[in-house]
Structure 1
Amino acid sequence: ALWAGQPEVAANYLQRYGQEQLLIGDNVSLFLKWRSELPQDLFASTTRLIVLHSWALVICARLDEVDECLADLAKFFPQPDARRQAQLLAQWQALRGFVARLRGEPEARDHCLQALEVLSDHAWAQRVLCYQVLSQQAMAESELEQALHYNAEGMKLARLKGSLLYETMLSVDRVQLLEITGEFERAIGVLEESLRALRDSVRHSPIIGRLKLLQGHLLAYQGLDEAAREAYQQGRIETETCGDSYVFFGYVGLAELAARNQEFPAAYHWLREAERLTQWRHVPEARFRGILSLITALTWLHQGKLKKARAALVDVLESYEDQAYLAPSGFYELLPRVQRYLAVVDLLAGRAAQAVGALQALIEQNLRTQRLGLACECRFTLAEALQQCGRHAEAEQELRKALVEAARQQLTKPLLELQQRQPQWLAKILPTSKGESLGERLLQFQRDSDDSPSASDEAVLSNRELTVLRLIAQGCSNQEIAEQLFISLHTVKTHARRINTKLGVARRTQAVARAKALGWF
């Protein structure tokens, strides 16, 4: 059409390339390649093409270019009527909200809420993406019930429209949400189910790459380093081929694995690759603010370079506190995790008493915000700090609590850290047989604890039962709980019945009161 001198026809063909197509194969790279080869004014000739062009840039995290692209919408204002004017403004707000979230800016929520009030059913894809932003923003602010609500609304809409790609894209957030709240088994189940569904539909997609990277992360937390490394590599190659900025998480994940295994040349190689990637693809520092510094600090920590590690960690905290940014998407626990590693630095530097106070505050904060996985990691470090302070009875009590929580969450990573620094002490509490892995020892500890009459109240409910009880405490009906957790009404009733039985109460109000008395909420 261009060769025939018909730019309007060319634009019409090009804008049929829908947003979903950007989530298949290397279509983002292809679309941006066309932009470099075809006349520039073609991509700014219609509002649909400007919006499509902007979403392609968002996927690549070329955020500064998104601003330039959205500026082209100005020439299409005013629209012929108020309805079209409002719809176009809502499209702009949805994109602005997404860009603000990627930059860690708090105003992302307002943009997306205002867009949702106006966007028509015809613009359902933008509505789904607004729900994703709101869910990610809530995770960054530790409002996890709110995050679950928005995620459920987005998935419900994606299913209603029959969009498997958008549904699995939101599953990435759902898996991370489950991981944060300590539901590792459920997180792995949702992830594997999403991968199977997507692979039956498309051969290559940036969403497949994101799921594989997330799989590597979960495997690393279970102490399955070789499987984690393979998943990270698969996810890195998939996202890199598809032009997706999430490839960054593949590089830093591989760097963290290498550092943990004392493979420091490999760790620094992957860190350099991550930095080179952001420069080569023109990804602004805001997209991954602080993540590279954190993984570099962890590498120094494993090498015993405590002063350098502490300086890097403090720089991360200050960069956020000075500007009031929120944690980046895909790394929602950045700041509390930095605080935990600062306590580890204090511990290793001989300031165990200082670490104890910081860790006790962190555990309380993480339990209050339902970050149960991170609370468990902090409890292991607290036990080690108490042991170093000579408070041996308290240390053993904290370690046993941590082991119960780790067993319930299938969390092995903090045990690996403790085994490296305190192998004899851990072996005393967690006996080992020849050839038995840490994960197997943890399962045996859980079985022994379940049989013990002195098992603590905190170990009574499963993570899923705790989640159901929290939703009950918020006043949700059984039907609302079923919709939010994507389980059947019968399953909700079964959970509620078991909760009452385990807590020795007759009604849900009594169960909530009992949980509050135990300090769970």
Structure 2
Amino acid sequence: MTAMTPCLDRPGFLPRLSSHHLPRTRLSEPLLASPARVKLLCAPAGSGKSALLAECLLQAPAQYRVVWLALSGVALSRAELCLRLAQALQLPAVDEPALLAHLARVQAPTWLFVDDYCRVPAPELDGLLDQLLAVSNPLITWWLSGRRRPHCNWPRLLLDDELHEFEGRTLALTAAEIEQLLRHFEAPLVAKTARRIFQRSDGWCAAVRIALLDGCQWAKDPNHPGRTATLLDYLQHELFASLPAELAEAWQVLAHLPRFNASLCEHLFGAGEGACWMHELQLRGCFIEDWQASPDWLQVFAPLRQLMRDEPWPAGRSWHRRACQWFCAEEDWQAAFEQALLAEEFEVAISLLQHFSLEHVFLGQNVVWLLRLHEQQGDELMLGSPHLVGLVTAALLFAGRFDQAASCIAQLERFAPQPTATQQRQLLARWQAQMGWLLHLQGRMTPAREHFLQALDALAAEAWPARLLCLSGLTQQALLNAELETAQALNREALCLARAQNSLLFEGLLELDHAQLLEQRGAAGRAESLLANIHELLSQQLDPATPLLGRIALRRGRLALSQGQDERAAGFFDSGLYECLRSQDKRVLYGFLGQAQLAANQGDYDQAFIRLRDAERLMQQRQIPDTVYRGVLLQVSSQFWLQQGRPELAHEALSRVLRHYRGPNARQAPPATLELIARIEYLLVLAQVHLGRKPHVQIDELLCHARDHGMANLETELQLVQVELAWLAGDETTAREGWQKARELIARWHLQQALTEVTLRQPERVRQVSDGPSKLPLSHQMSDVSPLSSRELEVLELIAQGNSNQQIAEQLYISLHTVKTHARRIHGKLGVARRTQAVARAKSLGIVG
């Protein structure tokens, strides 16, 4: 509800906006501009309905009469509503016919605001409202807000173009609007805090406001529980206090379920009552919404669902047990497994795992639950079949627990020999596939490769998930060996198999390999477009592949960072870090590394090293082998030390870590850091030169190798290092020639981060070569080589002319979906989020006129 105050230029009491009110012009402007006679805001409590109406009222033209009627959600009789309306209109007491007649005769433009309409089903009251709205006096505009949608003839109003409606999701604050509310925060914290508030609140106005009152502690601190007593009190007064006891209990049960429908509610609450209670909660606007845009399933609003799950619930086990029974009967094994765990029926949960495939490991929180079950129930229950061994091993490898994974894989020998020679061969092939991945992640390339190849020879067609993982492992090894053509062939074969099996999840895993390949070749824009597309497809799945989405976000963050899109990269690193922390993914390391790199780009080395220490601490807490993280942490630390002018620290660290990757017992680099060894080598050369020592590696040789193998990223970095070495040697001619080549590579591949890093090491030198009269800014240099394909240029030209997506599709004779795909790729390559930004960016680069 909005506070009331006397208004100097209008009669009576009118709403007063809070001093913390944020104008939402994206909502108020369309409402004010709409010619519709009826403006309806229907949303749950705390959605900002009253504030939005007040914002519109205060912009009413001076000659308009405005009337504000605050109903406070109470259930009135028809006579009481007539009386309240008559008083607001300054009429004597009138009956319904007289009121309707008066409204029909109104001669002055009038805005009639009815705020917080009756919250409970009231057929008679709704009937009167329907009659009032049917009075088609064009001088009266109705502005209605409420938690439920009154039972009126809305279809007729829609057909007559007389209804403009906003629902709850539309009213939510955006991340950008939350940033505006954080103006008092320190600048570096604003964007990150806003993203976290949005992530936890879904933009729900009440939750955002309470977060601000709480000082945003849970948004700034990942270890904060993420809730406050204020939010619980708000929910108690705004929801539970108005519900009958049985509905309040039913809502609490539903809040603990991932999704529900009428049949499940009948099972839980009793035949004849369950579905009625569910519909009653819907009608009352109790934060119930569609689940995954499904016509059959519903869910409680996610932030409140999380809030309720964080609270003690003594009766929870019995309700979860009953839900598990229903999901089992429906053969929904994923939901049944989750409910069995929440009911603490661990043996039932383990028995349900027989219905899981390898794909299930990467859904939701299954990795975390599998790890927890393994810790709590031990090998005897969790490793009772080869299938269970495979599931647990996959979870352990994903989390980086290699020693436990090795022990788990060894359990397969308990199931040998199998009854037939064929089954025995398949058991051995499974062992080889799992052992291949363990060795691969440990950096032992040669034996891993042998296991992958032997497993591929033996695995049957129905064991396609294991075949896909072997192909992925071989792809990553080819990338590490700079065999890009081989990697592409292996990746293509694997993708074809995943698509033939209609496995979108495995397709997503393989597209991560594909993106790494494209990144190596300098096609960061294509890699971003590819990952954006697969992220969109995976997000539309009924059961989200949360761990995979986290990895995709981190890779997209790296791509954005490489192209100089630091703000965009920060968003990806933040969301990827959040998801990877939740799923215990060892790749969470790269979220910390990305944030450290962003801090260093701003010259904040204190924060950069804090993030590196946070990463190391987490790896050690989770007992992840140092082969996973030690090398890359020292490489990034050394990069920062060189930027700070501390080559002695870099030299010591890099010399030590390089011995790990060179020599007879050398390990391969972690699969996520393909350029790690080359970067260690060139950073060590820089450190040696700074210290006046003779380098042990020739940059020319590394540069030729990168160029010969089509490694555009690495070639660009090495070209800049060669320039830097020429500067240090005083060889201006070589430096000038090399700088021109480097600029061309940076412009061609959009590798702005490579330029940023050399600028941080040699700021004066870069400034000197960039300030000359013949030196064009980088943005102008890029215009010589367009990052867009010919078709994307056609689409962009039509966008610049103001055409809609549908108009572009018709002019180019392509589908609307194809236009949207081209637009998304254009945004990714240009590093923008909207059409207008894309046009402006393209014009600045000289791509379009």
Same-fold call, TM > 0.5?
Answer: yes
Q: Which residue of 1 aligns with 2:588?
A: 247
- Is the contact between residue 184 and residue 409 of structure 1 (CA under 8 Å) also seen in structure 2? yes
- Structure 1 pair 272/384, CA: closer, same or farther in 2 (3 Å)? closer
- Structure 1 pair 172/395, CA: closer, same or farther in 2 (3 Å)? same
1:135 matches 2:475: yes
- Structure 1 pair 164/430, CA: closer, same or farther in 2 (3 Å)? farther
1:337 counterpart (679, 695, 701): 679
- Structure 1 pair 159/400, CA: closer, same or farther in 2 (3 Å)? same
Paired with 2:774 and 2:716, the residues of 1 have a C-alpha distance of 16
Q: State the shift of 1:448 in Å.
A: 5.5
- 1:409-428 equivalences under 5 Å are 409-420=749-760, 421=762, 422=765, 423-428=767-772
Q: Which amino acid aligns with 1:390?
A: G
Paired with 1:40 and 1:165, the residues of 2 have a C-alpha distance of 28
Paired with 2:774 and 2:550, the residues of 1 have a C-alpha distance of 37
Q: Which residue of 2 aligns with 1:105?
A: 444
Which deviations, in whole Å up to 9, do the C-alpha atoms of 1:113-155 show, x marking residues without a partner? 1001111111111111000100011111221111111111111
Percent pairwise identity: 33
- Structure 1 pair 203/356, CA: closer, same or farther in 2 (3 Å)? same
Q: Which amino acid aligns with 2:609?
A: Y
Which deviations, in whole Å up to 9, do the C-alpha atoms of 1:319-366 show, x marking residues without a partner? 111422111110011111111212332454467xx5798222221121
- Is the contact between residue 648 and residue 691 of structure 2 (CA under 8 Å) also seen in structure 1? no
Paired with 1:85 and 1:66, the residues of 2 have a C-alpha distance of 21
Paired with 1:405 and 1:412, the residues of 2 have a C-alpha distance of 10
Q: Which has the higher contact order (CA 8 A, sep 6+)?
A: 1
- Structure 1 pair 416/39, CA: closer, same or farther in 2 (3 Å)? closer
- Structure 1 pair 350/445, CA: closer, same or farther in 2 (3 Å)? farther
Moved more, 130-139 or 200-209: 200-209
- 1:218-297 equivalences under 5 Å are 218-297=559-638
Which deviations, in whole Å up to 9, do the C-alpha atoms of 1:416-451 show, x marking residues without a partner? 23444221212328746xxxxxxxx3241244689x
Q: Which residue of 1 aligns with 2:460?
A: 120
- Structure 1 pair 35/418, CA: closer, same or farther in 2 (3 Å)? closer
Q: Which residue of 2 aligns with 1:507?
A: none
- Of structures 1 and 2, the larger Rg is shown by 2
Gaps of 5+ in 1: 433-440, 451-458, 463-521
- 1:15-414 equivalences under 5 Å are 15-38=354-377, 40-106=379-445, 107-201=447-541, 202-203=543-544, 205-322=546-663, 323-349=665-691, 358-414=698-754
Q: Which amino acid aligns with 2:780?
A: Q
Paired with 1:258 and 1:355, the residues of 2 have a C-alpha distance of 30
- Structure 1 pair 191/394, CA: closer, same or farther in 2 (3 Å)? same
Q: Specify the SS of the correspondent of 1:38.
A: helix
Q: State the shift of 1:289 in Å.
A: 4.6
Which deviations, in whole Å up to 9, do the C-alpha atoms of 1:190-249 show, x marking residues without a partner? 121121121122545111111111111111111222221221111000111112111111
Paired with 1:8 and 1:27, the residues of 2 have a C-alpha distance of 16
Q: Which amino acid aligns with 1:19?
A: L
Paired with 1:9 and 1:406, the residues of 2 have a C-alpha distance of 57
- Is the contact between residue 26 and residue 243 of structure 1 (CA under 8 Å) also seen in structure 2? no
Which deviations, in whole Å up to 9, do the C-alpha atoms of 1:379-423 show, x marking residues without a partner? 122123224433323322211111111111111112223444221
Q: State the shift of 1:317 in Å.
A: 1.0
- Structure 1 pair 10/265, CA: closer, same or farther in 2 (3 Å)? closer
- Is the contact between residue 595 and residue 611 of structure 2 (CA under 8 Å) also seen in structure 1? yes
Aligned residues: 441
Q: Which residue of 2 aligns with 1:489?
A: none
- Structure 1 pair 82/10, CA: closer, same or farther in 2 (3 Å)? farther
Q: State the shift of 1:12 in Å.
A: 4.1
Paired with 1:126 and 1:42, the residues of 2 have a C-alpha distance of 23
- Structure 1 pair 99/442, CA: closer, same or farther in 2 (3 Å)? same
Which deviations, in whole Å up to 9, do the C-alpha atoms of 1:438-492 show, x marking residues without a partner? xxx3241244689xxxxxxxx9x99xxxxxxxxxxxxxxxxxxxxxxxxxxxxxx
Q: Specify the SS of the correspondent of 2:586.
A: coil
- Is the contact between residue 494 and residue 510 of structure 2 (CA under 8 Å) also seen in structure 1? yes
Paired with 1:389 and 1:412, the residues of 2 have a C-alpha distance of 25
Moved more, 277-286 or 231-240: 277-286
Paired with 1:20 and 1:357, the residues of 2 have a C-alpha distance of 44
Moved more, 418-427 or 158-167: 418-427
Which deviations, in whole Å up to 9, do the C-alpha atoms of 1:17-49 show, x marking residues without a partner? 221111112110012222233364111211111
- Is the contact between residue 442 and residue 627 of structure 2 (CA under 8 Å) also seen in structure 1? yes
- Is the contact between residue 616 and residue 629 of structure 2 (CA under 8 Å) also seen in structure 1? no
Paired with 1:388 and 1:174, the residues of 2 have a C-alpha distance of 38
Q: State the shift of 1:283 in Å.
A: 1.0
- Is the contact between residue 373 and residue 382 of structure 2 (CA under 8 Å) also seen in structure 1? no
Q: Which residue of 1 aligns with 2:780?
A: 444
- Is the contact between residue 255 and residue 270 of structure 1 (CA under 8 Å) also seen in structure 2? yes
Paired with 2:346 and 2:577, the residues of 1 have a C-alpha distance of 38
- Structure 1 pair 426/194, CA: closer, same or farther in 2 (3 Å)? same
Moved more, 104-113 or 421-430: 421-430
TM-score by length of 1: 0.79
Q: Which amino acid aligns with 1:442?
A: L
Moved more, 403-412 or 257-266: 257-266
Paired with 1:135 and 1:357, the residues of 2 have a C-alpha distance of 28
Q: Which amino acid aligns with 1:445?
A: Q
- Is the contact between residue 430 and residue 445 of structure 1 (CA under 8 Å) also seen in structure 2? no
- Structure 1 pair 448/371, CA: closer, same or farther in 2 (3 Å)? closer
User: What RMSD over aligned residues (CA atoms) do the two structures have, in Å?
Assistant: 2.7
Paired with 2:348 and 2:562, the residues of 1 have a C-alpha distance of 52
Paired with 1:400 and 1:44, the residues of 2 have a C-alpha distance of 60
Name whichever structure is richer in strand by fraction. Answer: 2
Paired with 2:595 and 2:710, the residues of 1 have a C-alpha distance of 28
Paired with 1:59 and 1:361, the residues of 2 have a C-alpha distance of 36
Name whichever structure is richer in helix by fraction. Answer: 1
Q: Which residue of 2 aligns with 1:468?
A: none
Q: Specify the SS of the correspondent of 2:584.
A: coil
Q: Which amino acid aligns with 2:505?
A: L
